[in-house]
Structure 1
């Protein structure tokens, strides 16, 4: 069951202001991880619906930020406020609300919205139905999809389309029942519903994951017979079967893709890179990463996560830090667990400066609940404390302070001064003749107690 952390937002907050365009808001929301700031960006849009697609993405980015902070009451207030808009009678507009609830894992609210369509005066078709089924899958209620598939079209008088069948087939595959998915292929054929490469790929993925490789090869051949040639997605699923095995096998499949006129994508090269990593071939893995741009691909969060993890595993923390900086610039920062591994490794390798900078970056990029995690890590590693280097850099300033003392200060036997920093007070002991000895408290000494991240 979803647990809500807090409710802070008045629905009136969501009424748009008149400052930025929806396209600019979408761009800003991509790099903004703080949910309150995301809401502020969304509410400052001059007209949310000049571009329906950009509007949907902006809405979804905002919901994702709130969901990551477990602010489900805020999500409900945010999305319910959209039902007061006159565009609620348009099926695509209402469908965007259902979709957003699905992204947050709030299927009950998604279903409630779908059932309200008559009252709201919104027509139903396969469009909103498909969004409802996808919301069910996103919320991981796979077993409810077949029931909805059987009930809703009959009740509301429309026919499922190829997308509807695609989501149904995915639900069977997620439940580990690809044989039921295969039966639906026959039903689609009988009813004249197009069977796409995506549908076949979903079944292929389920069979490969279940170790049923012989059956997967039969499906692969069936695709060719139906004139539904494998696409990049299907090849990527096949490539996955080689992950952790022989990198040469992956290379052969990538070459085969190119030979049949398909362009390998970032996912294809991620699998090749991961395969090299698993076999301890880090130089080759880094080469794949470095060559992505020349192959017309951009690294994604999975690229950075995989490479950083294996660099850390091989104690190449400095290189891992460089890759982390590149992930920040690309706004594709990996998950917390991977980065914990890196920051612990940096601290262990006497790279406290890099570790501190990394933590500062993460605190700036993410909301309060994630910042707490990094604050705890910072304290565990002693990185929140004043370091000797920080103290030494202030020696000249302190010496100047001593010179300004009255002349009888030289006769003091043990008089203490305190120099304030932004967060700490560092006591200074004055010993005649005006010689300074820094008395550094234990709290100011660097501590690098390694905590196992996994």
Structure 2
């Protein structure tokens, strides 16, 4: 690699050479904990169901019913796609594909996205880019690449924008070697000139891969082609260094960013806050928030989640609730991460009433649920014999996957509540 005087490459080289892969502190793997068994009453209910003839046939019927419901929802979604205004609502596509991804229905994802080729929108590069990114978020980058290759046949212009979407698809699918291969081979082959978005995407890919030498190579090429790194570039580096607990190197990147007259934003600060709270440097993290406020930057939900996460790991309910309350006092709405941290912690500490309260709060705010997000509170309600309360919580949230946990104690059979109003978007798990 050639030297570039006092360039950004040279300055970064001085930082990166002290942070070789061999010395990078690996991210600690999360402990895998076995799911706790459901209450004995639930087991007895299941046994009663078998005794009453509600056994394997019932299970097969349930599977068939689930498949039928999925087919109907897919057909409803495809029918909705016939509307031009519906096709312009990105969120509906993202929500539907996400549900399919969580259910591991990858062939159905391909079916739904292939269906979009029948519309005139497919001639729009922006529309194709949306399809490619949905493939990428689903771990189906090869399908995104296939669609990229088909763009000329679809009478759709192929520019640096769709090439960048292809790279993002590989990165989001965590297929980093494939992203590097496409970056090295396709621009010259297709006559496409990389832009700053291209380089930022590759910096993100190489940070995930952990290759400092390759990151330096990207920066050297970036400079040779006349580009200057922007705030996105530096924020990507900051997130990587602080995530790996390389504070000295991260702080040098911070100083380098400011030397280029790039002011840190909330994402910059959050990367630093997460690194500090993860290492139990709470006082330093609080001081950083104070410094952030003096620069006119207010903490967001991710800032508070960093503190809640730290105290959740320590099972410190009092401090976790303190930051949760401060978040709300500052007019912020907790997100999925907040509730996924707090609901099981309240249950673990035996405060079932509060667990129910914040579960209902999450439902009221229409917070996107995650698999098993409400499982701890449903389990605990059933364990204490509060079947009606559990059923009401599941019903209020239209939490389809939790219906199976609710026995009808009078007959020993599971009660199947009426389904919520049908929607082209799959219901929450």
**TM-score interval for Structure 1 and Structure 2 normalised by the shorter chain:** 0.7 to 0.9
1:148 matched to which residue of 2?
Answer: 182
Tell me what 1:402 maps to. Answer: none
Query: Which position in structure 2 is the counterpart of 1:331?
Result: 366
Q: Is the 8 A contact 1:178 1:203 kept in 2?
A: no
TM-score, normalization by structure 1: 0.69
**Structure 1 residues 35, 163: CA separation in 2 closer, same or farther (over 3 Å shift)?**
farther
Q: Distance in 2 between matches of 1:423 and 1:207?
A: 51
Q: What is the aligned counterpart of 2:272 among 208, 233, 238?
A: 238
Gaps of 5+ in 2: 1-62, 416-429
Q: Distance in 2 between matches of 1:209 and 1:221?
A: 18
Matched, 1:126 2:160: yes
Counterpart contact for 2:381–2:387, Cα < 8 Å: yes
| Aligned-residue offset at 1:45 | 5.9
TM-score (norm 2): 0.73
- Select the residue among 248, 264, 272 that pairs with 2:283: 248
| Superposition deviation, residue 327 in structure 1 | 1.0
SS class of match (1:296): coil
Cα distance in 2 between the residues matched to 1:35 and 1:233: 40
Corresponding position of 1:48: 84
Residue 253 of structure 2 corresponds to residue 219 of structure 1 = yes
Q: State the Cα distance separating 1:155 from its structure 2 match.
A: 1.1
Do the aligned residues in 2 keep the contact of 1:274 with 1:306 (CA within 8 Å)? yes
Q: 1:334, CA displacement in angstroms?
A: 4.1
CA distance in 2, matches of 1:296, 1:73: 42
Correspondence 1:101 to 2:147: no
- The higher radius of gyration belongs to 1
Asked if structure 2 preserves the Cα contact closer than 8 Å seen for 1:35 and 1:65, the reply is no
Q: Write the distance in 2 (CA, Å) between the matches of 1:125 and 1:312.
A: 52
Where structure 1 has 5 or more consecutive residues not aligned to the other structure, the ranges are 10-32, 388-419, 425-454
Cα deviation, 1:186-229, whole Å, max 9, x if unaligned, reads 32223222312222121222222323221111111111111122
Matched, 1:71 2:102: no
Aligned counterpart for 2:95 among listed residues 43, 61, 65:
61
Q: Which has the higher contact order (CA 8 A, sep 6+)?
A: 2
Instruction: After TM superposition, give the deviation of residue 136 of structure 1 in Å.
Output: 0.8
Change (3 A) 1:181 1:296: farther
Aligned to 1:197: 231
Offset, 1:57: 2.7
Structure 1 partner of 2:192:
158
The answer to whether the aligner puts 1:305 opposite 2:317 as a matched pair is: no
1:295 aligned to which of 320, 325, 330: 330
User: 1:173 Cα deviation (Å)?
Assistant: 1.0
Residue 107 of structure 1: CA displacement? 1.5
The yes-or-no answer on 1:136 pairing with 2:170 is yes
Residue 176 of structure 1 is aligned with which of 210, 225, 228? 210
1:173·1:206 contact (CA, 8 Å) conserved in 2? Answer: yes
